[in-house]
Homo-oligomer: A and B are copies of this chain.
């Protein structure tokens, strides 16, 4: 049975943008599993699969419902062990957690500070209001003040904060080594979020991270390129 992926979109259902949903999409493709993506807006997240959850991605696979991108990846490896692994062994999962923790605290804030108005602009009117209310409450200030990361000084500082990733990718094609695994998709999700929503250029051309991102976009039948970059 085809797996169902609840996938965050804005006003254009053909442009899924959530970094976490992209992690799940790439994980499903990596496993070679068929899936249907169900476009889901911010305001619809609370109703997914009977309600109660606060975030997507969520997948339904037969009777199983799994929420959270990392939990989905673990579920897929546990449930489909004969397909290409997303993690190797127990330490592979544990170390991918460190990658997730680093990505959330380094890459994601840099993207939010540079593009939160683009995220807002991609929503329909109802979801614009929903997003603004939620995020302004969380940040304690207007979205227009949250987006303060586009100066060249701040862009360079954000890029510099990615140096641990950059140095690693100078010496190996993927974070997980010769071949991509879920650790790669964790960081890919962030850059794809940026690519789909914004024309803001965080990385310089020729950056090893930019080269790695292009390699990731080529994976699984160029799944990531099915959504054109923001223009």
Contacts and interface: CB of A to CB of B under 8 A. Distances in A.
Contacts of A181: 91
B106 A164 contact: yes
A94 B97 CA distance: 14
Within the oligomer, what is the number of copies of this chain?
A: 2
A164 B109 CA distance: 13
Contacts of A164: 98, 101-102, 104-106
Nearest to A103: B164
A174 interface: yes
A183 interface: yes
A91 B94 contact: no
Contacts of A168: 94, 97-98, 101
Contact of A98 (B90, B104, B175): B175
A63 B158 CA distance: 46
B90 A89 contact: no
A109 B154 CA distance: 21
B172 A97 contact: yes
B98 A165 contact: yes
**Residue among A172, A175, A177 with max Cβ neighbours from chain B (10 Å):** A177
Interface in A78-109: 87-99, 101-102, 104-106
A165 B88 CA distance: 21
Interface in A170-213: 171-172, 174-178, 181, 183
A163 interface: yes
B94 A176 contact: yes
Contacts of A97: 168, 171-172
B90 A92 contact: no
Contact of A88 (B90, B174, B177, B178): B90
A116 to B, nearest CB: 21
Interface of A: 87-99, 101-102, 104-106, 163-165, 167-168, 171-172, 174-178, 181, 183
17 contacts: A90-B177, A91-B92, A91-B183, A92-B92, A92-B95, A94-B176, A94-B177, A94-B178, A97-B172, A98-B99, A98-B164, A98-B175, A101-B163, A101-B167, A104-B164, A105-B163, A105-B167
